[in-house]
Amino acid sequence: MADADNGAVVERFMQALASSDVDAYESTLDPDSVAIYPQSGERFRGRTNLRALMEQFRRDEPYSTSLERVAADEPSWVMGPGFKALRVAGSGEHFTATGRVRYANGEEWHLVQLLEVRDGRIRQVISYFAEPFEAPEWRAAFREPTDR
**Mean pLDDT, residues 121-148:** 90
Give the number of other Cβ atoms within 10 Å of residue 74's Cβ: 10
Give the number of other Cβ atoms within 10 Å of residue 141's Cβ: 6
Q: Tens digits of per-residue pLDDT, 76-116?
A: 333 433 778 888 999 999 999 998 888 777 788 899 999 99
Task: Identify the bridge partners of residue 111 per DSSP, sorted by sequence position.
Answer: 99, 129
| 125: helix, strand or coil | strand
Q: Which domain holds residue 83?
A: 3-142
pLDDT band at 117 (very low <50, low <70, confident <90, very high): very high
pLDDT surpassing 80 at residue 129: yes
pLDDT surpassing 90 at residue 138: yes
Residue 148 within a domain: no
pTM greater than 0.85? no
CATH of the domain at 122: 3.10.450.50
Q: How many CA atoms lie within 13 A of 43 on its CB side?
A: 5
Tallying the residues shown for the chain, one arrives at 148
State the total domains in the chain. 1
